[in-house]
């Protein structure tokens, strides 16, 4: 058990929640006149008793330059103790560069976990994996339309032919000596989610694709949720953040978050 894994289990249990709020600020959808940090802070204050974690995606902050990255750092710092925060950065680079990324994410920004791309192989992930107190979610079957372009290609390993994403999942499982590796599997591919969860029931799953992307919540829970409810992270970004773009945006976000949490728990019963 690692610190991130423990923290995720504790927050999931305390808040009875598999909901992860994706903190992806988009000025076109946010209430007019509000700053990114101010927006995130209000969302966090309105939802922190209802979630198992938060997940800002770096892209939305980088696109705003240094102001965005300032807001990101302040956002991570204002999340209540006990609620983990995942950096959705999807990094993947060679050894010394991967170490610099891990340092940026864990040390400079203070995240508890990160997403990472498998394409460059073990040494690109090692600097993340070796941070035993942190978590790393390896991209496996992503939620987008183009996911099939490479992830579903038929790969032959040990004489057996299987889709690439299954080989990625199995390989990540073999690398998981510290128990801090999870997988990213999109809710938009329920059959693939079922296969991966069945093959790796002990690995945490980060599941994007609910809501705006079209993934079905009930099927997602049935196919991907762990029994104890301590390592399944079901993300919603736009559906919660932009429930309203009026002055009631935080209250509206809380309402959507509560609805999602309870809908998940209703399926689990």
Q: How many CB atoms lie within 10 A of CB 26?
A: 14
Cα 228–Cα 234–Cα 240 angle in degrees, nearest 5? 135
90 catalytic residue (yes or no): yes
Q: Does 42 bind its own copies (CB under 8 A)?
A: no
Rounded CA-CA distance 46/118 in Å is 35
Q: Does 181 bind its own copies (CB under 8 A)?
A: no
Q: Which of 90, 132, 222, 255 is an active site residue?
A: 90
State both tokens at 61: 């902050």
| Position among 80, 110, 122, 246 found at the interface with its own copies (CB under 8 A) | 122
> Which of 64/258 has CB closer to its own copies?
64
State both tokens at 128: 């993340």
Q: Does 191 bind its own copies (CB under 8 A)?
A: no
Q: Least Å distance between CB 222 and its own copies?
A: 24
267, 26 in Cβ contact below 8 A? no
> Which of 33/65 has CB closer to its own copies?
65
- Please enumerate in sequence order all residues whose Cβ is within 8 A of that of 6, keeping only pairs 6 or more positions apart, or say none: none
Q: Least Å distance between CB 21 and its own copies?
A: 16
Task: Show contacts with its own copies in window 225-264 (CB under 8 A).
Answer: none
Rounded CA-CA distance 76/56 in Å is 9
- Nearest alpha carbon to residue 263 among 227, 211, 191: 211
Q: What ranges make up the beta strands (E) of 92-249?
A: 113-116, 135-141, 154-157, 160-163, 181-185, 205-207, 232-236
| Position among 6, 14, 45, 63 found at the interface with its own copies (CB under 8 A) | 63
| Position among 155, 251, 263, 267 found at the interface with its own copies (CB under 8 A) | 155
Rounded CA-CA distance 250/44 in Å is 9
Q: Of the listed pieces 2-10, 12-20, 74-82, 115-123, which binds its own copies according to CB under 8 A?
A: 115-123
| Position among 142, 180, 223, 235 found at the interface with its own copies (CB under 8 A) | 142
Q: Which residues are catalytic?
A: 90
Q: Which residues bind its own copies (CB under 8 A)?
A: 24, 26, 57, 59-60, 62-66, 69-70, 73, 88, 90-98, 100-101, 103-104, 108, 117-125, 139, 142-151, 153-157, 161, 164, 167-168, 171, 208, 213
């Amino acid at each position: 058990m690692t610190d991130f894994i423990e923290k995720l289990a504790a927050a999931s249990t305390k808040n009875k929640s598999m909901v992860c709020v994706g903190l992806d600020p988009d000025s076109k959808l946010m209430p007019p006149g509000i700053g990114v940090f101010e927006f995130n802070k209000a969302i966090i204050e309105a939802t922190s008793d209802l979630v198992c974690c938060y997940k800002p995606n770096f892209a939305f902050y980088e696109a705003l330059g240094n102001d965005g990255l300032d807001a990101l750092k302040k956002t991570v710092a204002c999340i209540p103790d006990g609620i983990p925060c995942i950096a959705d950065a999807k990094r993947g680079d060679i050894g010394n560069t991967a170490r610099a990324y891990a340092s940026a994410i864990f040390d400079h920004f203070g995240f508890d976990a990160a997403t990472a791309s498998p394409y460059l192989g073990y040494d690109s992930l090692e600097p993340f994996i070796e941070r035993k107190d942190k978590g790393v979610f390896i991209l496996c079957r992503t939620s987008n339309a183009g996911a099939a372009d490479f992830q579903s290609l038929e790969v032959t390993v040990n004489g057996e032919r299987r889709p690439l994403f299954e080989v990625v999942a199995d390989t990540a499982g073999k690398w998981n000596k510290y128990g801090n590796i999870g997988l990213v599997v999109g809710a938009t591919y329920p059959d693939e989610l079922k296969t991966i969860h069945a093959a790796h029931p002990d690995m945490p799953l980060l599941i994007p694709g609910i809501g705006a992307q079209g993934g079905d919540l009930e099927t997602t829970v049935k196919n991907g949720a762990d029994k104890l409810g301590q390592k399944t992270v079901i993300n919603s970004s736009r559906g919660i953040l932009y429930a309203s773009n009026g002055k009631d945006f935080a209250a509206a976000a809380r309402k959507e978050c509560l609805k999602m949490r309870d809908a998940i728990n209703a399926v689990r019963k």
